[in-house]
Amino acid sequence: MPAPFTLIISMKKKYEGQARLAMLSAFNADLYLKHAIVVDPDIDINNLQHVLWAIATRVQAERDIFIVPRVRGSSLDPSAEPVGVTDKMGIDATAKPNLDQFAPINQVPREVMERIKLEDYLEKDF
C-alpha cells in the first residue's frame, strides 16, 4: 500500500478492458479502497517513481481514468462528506494497445549511477 486507501495492481493484460475490471473488482472487495492503479509487469509496484512514470507516459485522462462517484467508503477518510461517502478513482496505466508494442522503461544502469559524483558538478563557491 503506497498510501492510505490506495492500491497498485500489476497485471499482464490479455484483453482490452481487463485493467478496468480488475479495479472495479478491487473496489468491490475492499470498502476502504479509494484509488486503484493498474500497471504492466515491467513496472515495479514497490517503486513509486516507476508507477508515476507509467502514469505520465501511458495514461490519457479521458481514456484511462474513471471515477465512481458517491459510493460507500471508509468512515476514516477525512475527505469523505458526508462521513463514509466517497468517490473512487481508477487509473489504467498500462501500455496501449499492449506492452509488446510499447517502448520499454528507460533506466540509467546502476554502475553508471554509482560512478557519478554530484560534487563534481556543483560550484565550490557556496
Q: What is the pLDDT of residues 18-53, one digit of tens each?
A: 999 999 999 999 999 999 999 999 999 999 999 999
- Find where cell 515491467 sits: 42
d(C-alpha 93, C-alpha 54), whole Å: 6
| C-alpha dist (Å) from residue 117 to 26, 110, 111, 114, 122 | 44, 13, 12, 8, 10
pTM: 0.78
Domains of the chain as residue ranges with CATH:
6-121 (3.40.1670.10)
